[in-house]
Structure 1
Amino acid sequence: MHLYKHVDISNNRNLVYGLNVVAVIAFLGFLWLFGAIVGSMTVNFTESYFVWLIVALLVIVTIHEVLHGILYKVFKPNGKIKIGFKSGMLSVSSPKSLYTKQQFIWIGATPFVVISLVLIAIFLLGWLPGELFLPLAALHGAGCVGDFYLLWLVISSPKHYYISDQENGIDIYSPN
């Protein structure tokens, strides 16, 4: 294996800044997208509302990272999982484990897809009010911008390359 590309997100200030700008734009896009499901609504900005929003968001972020961890283990049962905090956010990685492009795409995309579908389902069932659903879904979608960036790098790399998740980003390897 030869290192094709090393992507260090955490220590690249310009990249972190750019991803944050994209996250703000993505938040607005996700507000529009998920807002189409909600339709019109009014929000009662109370202290209770913000407490529920923060608690729910912390639960969602935790579930998001647990889903990454589960998929790491599904594809590499003997791989080590590292849990930590990067820039104040919970993070799960599997350093020194190699994954195929397809495996890494599953690992990277599943939390966004599963959590978005679950949020939509519990909203449509009437178990989650629109004033919580909309900001939760939009904030979670915007929070996935780093995953989307890594997915774009993986998808745009040559066909039979391998991905190694690192604590600060990813390494992409050629098979030769």
Structure 2
Amino acid sequence: MHLYKHIDITNNRNLVYGLNVAAVIAFLIFLWVFGAMAGSITVKFTKSYFIWLIVALLVVVTIHEVIHGVLYKAFKPNGKIKIGFKNGLLSVSSPKSLYTKQQFLWIGATPFVAISLVLMAMFFVGWLPGDIFLALASLHGAGCVGDFYLLCLVMTSPKYYYISDREDGIDIYSNS
């Protein structure tokens, strides 16, 4: 295998800054998208609202990372899973495991899609108040910006390349 591209997210200040700016923009876009689904809502800025929101967000982020971990294991049952914190955020990686582009696209996209669909379903059946739905869905979507960035890099790499997840980013390899 030949290293085609190394993407180090953790140690690249400019990239981290750019992803943070993109996350703010994504948050505003997701407020608009999910807000259109929720319709007109009133947010009650109370102490209990923020406590519930923080607890719910911690649960959602944990589930997000568990989904990544389950998919890493599903595609590479013998691969090692590493759980840690990157830049103060919970992170799951599978260092030294090689994945096809398609496998990595599933690993990267599934948490956003699955959690967004579950949150929408919970809102539409009345299990989740509109203000909590809007905040959770928008914050989670904005938090997925790093995944979206890696997915774009993987999608634009040549067809038969492989991806190795790393604690600080990813490596993209060619067969030759």
TM-score by length of 1: 1.00
Please tell me the root mean square deviation across aligned C-alpha atoms, in Å. 0.3
In the alignment, what sits opposite 2:131?
A: 131
SS, match of residue 96 in structure 2: coil
* Shift of residue 75, structure 1, vs aligned partner: 0.1
Matched, 1:64 2:64: yes
Describe how 1:83-98 pairs up with structure 2 within 5 A. 83-98=83-98
Letter in 2 for 1:58: L
Describe how 1:108-123 pairs up with structure 2 within 5 A. 108-123=108-123
Describe how 1:134-153 pairs up with structure 2 within 5 A. 134-153=134-153
Matched, 1:6 2:35: no
In the alignment, what sits opposite 2:39?
A: 39
In the alignment, what sits opposite 1:22?
A: 22
* Shift of residue 61, structure 1, vs aligned partner: 0.2
| CA distance in structure 2 between the aligned counterparts of 1:93 and 1:40, rounded to whole angstroms | 39
| CA distance in structure 2 between the aligned counterparts of 1:62 and 1:68, rounded to whole angstroms | 10
In the alignment, what sits opposite 2:105?
A: 105
Give identity over the alignment, percent. 80
| CA distance in structure 2 between the aligned counterparts of 1:152 and 1:165, rounded to whole angstroms | 15
* Shift of residue 113, structure 1, vs aligned partner: 0.1
| CA distance in structure 2 between the aligned counterparts of 1:53 and 1:98, rounded to whole angstroms | 36
Letter in 2 for 1:170: I
TM-score by length of 2: 1.00
